[in-house]
Amino acid sequence: MTSLYDSKADSQGGWGSQYRLVASEKWKAKSAAMGQAVTDALVEYAQPKTGMRVLDLASGTGEPAISLAMCVGPEGHVIALDLSADLLQIAKGRAEARGLENLTLQQGDAHSLPFPDNNFDVATSRFGVMFFSDPVGALRELRRVLRPGARACFLAWGTFEQPYWQSMMGVVHRRVGGPLLQPGGPDPFRFAKPGSLSTVLRSAGFSGVGEETRTLPWNWPGPVEEVWEQARSVAVPFRPMLDRVPEEMWPQIHEEVHAAVAQYFDGQKVAFGASVVLASGAK
């Protein structure tokens, strides 16, 4: 999982910028802590078993691939695929710190998977499928490399109308106006509408499709100012909007964002909660 988004945008310019990579390294521990409940939910949903061969798409800095590798044990194997070699380097360090030898990190594109047919027992993608340029095509390609009966399990963002987004990017949008996201650009909320991700799975040939929306813990283990700094540094889909903010407006925006986020701060952590979509289908 690439923090909040998929590194697909690397090939579209800007995503793999040194600024974002520095931010990903700086905040990797706290970002992982914030996303732990979401990671756990996807791993539980995928039901990995000892000895399974697993493919994690848009793995970024390493989750849920690292958690999956710990589940399948030394008899199993996980391949973490991402477009960004730089983000995979961060994942490599995290995996090595855990002594994992059953995890392979591989640069590649979800739309053209470098694997033979019928190769994996389960596939996952956390906060990645929303950014595939051709989601039906990518999921057809994923179905090809799954073994008969294997499941593909996805986790995507729910609606923009939830505390994490409204208290930060929502404040900026209300102040600066214009489009929230660049037309035709990366859209974290592409599958927020119930049933939309299921439709893509069925179109790609998956059967037994299921989908649900859940609200999960999404807690930043630090102060208000810190989570706002982290959000700005990794929020590539919102970059055009942030770039529209006049310099003289930033002090007021910072003040308003800090006040909005402070509603969720308990003195130790910022407890937003996250509305997410879980969807799966079988080959």
Is 275 part of any domain?
Answer: yes
Is 151 part of any domain?
Answer: yes
Is 243 part of any domain?
Answer: yes
Is 128 part of any domain?
Answer: yes
Contact 278, 155 (CB under 8 A): yes
Total number of domains in the chain: 1
Alpha-carbon 209 to chain mean position: 21
Is 1 part of any domain?
Answer: no
Is 2 part of any domain?
Answer: no
Is 73 part of any domain?
Answer: yes
Full-model pTM? 0.90
Q: Residue 160: what residue type? A: F
pLDDT in tens, the chain (283 residues): 333 333 333 333 333 455 456 666 677 788 889 999 999 999 999 999 999 999 999 998 889 999 999 999 999 999 999 988 888 888 898 889 999 999 999 999 999 999 999 999 999 999 999 999 999 999 999 999 999 999 999 999 999 999 999 999 999 999 999 999 999 889 999 999 999 999 999 999 999 999 999 999 999 999 999 999 999 988 889 999 999 999 999 999 999 999 999 999 999 999 999 999 999 999 9
Domain that holds residue 161: 7-282
The CATH number of residue 110's host domain is: 3.40.50.150
The alpha carbon dihedral of 11, 15, 21, 25 has a sign of negative
Give how far Cα 1 sits from Cα of 59, 120, 166, 237, 260, Å: 4, 19, 22, 16, 27
Contact 137, 103 (CB under 8 A): no
Is 255 part of any domain?
Answer: yes
